[in-house]
């Protein structure tokens, strides 16, 4: 079983738990911080809301049905889709999408190798 790490994300009062391969979890946190740094520079009308990574941990046990665990690749795919849909006029959005897609490609390769998909 591969070693996993968990990112806890928060948007307003909502929490999301994302399971990442431990060797890539720091990249998710760094990407999240970079995207937050750049969000205010976007001039598009419909910029998606982005939760903040508030914590990482090695072990996570969710108690009760109110929270679920999101697969890291699923989260990155959803993130890429939301940023690809932005109709940006001024800011070079392509650099942010490039960072998202780079992590997306790395995770796809990791899952293919790890689970022989």
Which pTM was predicted?
Answer: 0.92
Structural domain boundaries, residue 64: 4-115
Distance CA 86, CA 6 (A): 28
Whole-number Å distance between alpha carbons of 6 and 8: 7
Q: What pLDDT is stored for residue 117 in this prediction?
A: 53
Q: Mean pLDDT over all residues of the chain? A: 92
Is the pLDDT confidence value at 1 over 80? no
Which of 97, 86, 101, 91 lies closest to 40, judged by CA? 91
At residue 71, what are phi and psi to the nearest 5 degrees? -65, 140
| Mean pLDDT across 76-99 | 89
**pLDDT at residue 43, rounded to an integer:** 85
| 4: pLDDT strictly greater than 90 | yes
Counting the structural domains of the chain, the total is: 1
């Amino acid at each position: 079983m591969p070693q996993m790490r968990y990112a806890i994300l928060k948007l307003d009062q909502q929490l999301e738990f994302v399971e990442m391969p431990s060797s890539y979890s720091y990249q998710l946190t760094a990407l999240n911080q970079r995207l937050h740094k750049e969000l205010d520079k976007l001039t598009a009308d419909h910029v998606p809301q982005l939760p903040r990574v508030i914590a990482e941990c090695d072990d996570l046990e969710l108690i009760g049905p109110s929270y679920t665990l999101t697969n890291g690749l699923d989260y990155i795919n959803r993130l890429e889709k939301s940023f690809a849909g932005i109709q940006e006029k001024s800011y070079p959005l392509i650099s942010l999408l490039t960072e998202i897609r780079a992590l997306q490609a790395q995770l796809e390769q990791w899952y293919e190798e790890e689970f022989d998909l």
